[in-house]
Structure 1
Amino acid sequence: MTTTGPEELVVLVSADGHATGTAPKATVHHADTPLHLAFSVYLFDDRGSLLVTRRARSKATFPGIWTNSACGHPAPGEAVEDAVLRRARDELGLDVRDLRLVLPRFSYRAEMDGTVEWELCPVLAGRVPGVVPEPFPDPAEVEEVRWVAWEAFAADVLSGRRSVSTWCREQVAELDALGPDPSAWPKADPADLPPAMTFRSRAG
């Protein structure tokens, strides 16, 4: 007999960020995707290189597209940094240190091949110990990974020389405005997160 785990849910929100309900992650993305909570994280090694990932071609949304280190959805009641740590372990096999909130109010809407992403999607930055540490990506989620120099990556994305996901392109523009050194990006105030999202960690 085959058993399955609990159904993965995402948190639906109003335009002002208050929770309005939940929906199954497996079915929430379609031509009329409701607004929901998500996150993006940018992971750097001890030399300051950024981990970029190519989404698996089997992904329902934006398959085969290069993007930031990882994205995901906090579960109902899950603090966003706990969700990031969980996702980094499950998707990339990486333990993240020094996680900090940098863009608490980021949101976007994007469409590809009739499927819409519409998310309140705060952005965090974190460190993976070592120099060019080796990820162990889940092939169902990630097809390819690379460590790249942040300055060159940002310049190529902003100039259009490098094609990335819609959300990554928009995020890079806002991150670039924080300054050229990711380690010096200021920590944002968690009070600026959507009301349905908390930054209080239970990771221990």
Structure 2
Amino acid sequence: MCMRHVLLCDSDGNILEISDRKSAHEGDGKLHRAFSILIFRDNWKQLLIQKRADSKLFGGLWANTCCSHFQEEDNLATQAEKRLEEECGFTCDLTECSSFVYQAKDPKGKGAEYEYDTIFVGEVDGDIEFKLDPEEVEEAKWINIDELMKDIDEHNENYSPWLLLALKHILETDQ
């Protein structure tokens, strides 16, 4: 998925126009459509998280399994599944859960995110093989949800700002 643009939107996620990625992430950022994928195993007790490549916005921080920007208004789950395969080397069935808006500046001054973020979740059985795209992901690991929440509480500077928001949205709903 060659991502050269983002879809600017209003606070309800309605598409307004197309923008280049760079200008959408400058200053305080421009509100645009994005997605976050969270892959669980062991009956939702473990989450696959990734450490973002240092060259990325919020590089070097731990984040959800995969995230990116929608390139079109339709086929959202298909776009998310394709990106999961490109970035992590595997795919699974994804379910759209909810959406939220957040805004955050990169701690290293590389830009800002201002996203209408749609959450997709999936579940896998046991160990899976994944092949990480080194331009996107430095490393990945499975982590127990309780352990993750405790570590985020104690060391939130090690995590992307959208990870906790996404977790709260899906863990507060009945799965």
Do Structure 1 and Structure 2 share a fold, with TM-score over 0.5?
yes
Work out which of the residue numbers 39, 49, 73 in structure 2 matches 1:52.
49
TM-score (normalizing by structure 1): 0.75
TM-score (normalizing by structure 2): 0.86
Contact kept in structure 1, 2:28 and 2:114, CA below 8 Å: no
Structure 1 position 160, deviation (Å): 2.7
Work out which of the residue numbers 72, 76, 81 in structure 1 matches 2:68.
72
**1:115 corresponds to which letter in structure 2?**
G
Runs of 5+ unmatched residues, structure 2? none
Structure 1 position 26, deviation (Å): 4.5
Corresponding residue for residue 35 of structure 2: 39
Greater per-residue strand proportion:
2
For the pair shown, the structure with the greater C-alpha radius of gyration is 1
When the two chains are superposed, the root-mean-square deviation of aligned CA atoms in Å is 2.1
After superposing on structure 2, the runs of 4+ consecutive aligned residues of structure 1 that deviate more than 4 Å are none
Q: Give the Cα separation in 1 of the matches to 2:84 and 2:13.
A: 24
Work out which of the residue numbers 88, 104, 110 in structure 2 matches 1:110.
104
Runs of 5+ unmatched residues, structure 1? 179-183, 186-204
Contact kept in structure 1, 2:6 and 2:70, CA below 8 Å: yes
Work out which of the residue numbers 96, 106, 120 in structure 2 matches 1:101.
96
Q: Give the Cα separation in 2 of the matches to 1:168 and 1:119.
A: 13
Q: Does 1:132 align with 2:127?
A: yes
The 3-state SS of whatever aligns with 1:105 is strand
Structure 1 position 114, deviation (Å): 5.5
Q: Give the Cα separation in 2 of the matches to 1:88 and 1:47.
A: 20
The 3-state SS of whatever aligns with 1:17 is coil
**2:105 corresponds to which letter in structure 1?**
E
Structure 1 position 10, deviation (Å): 1.3
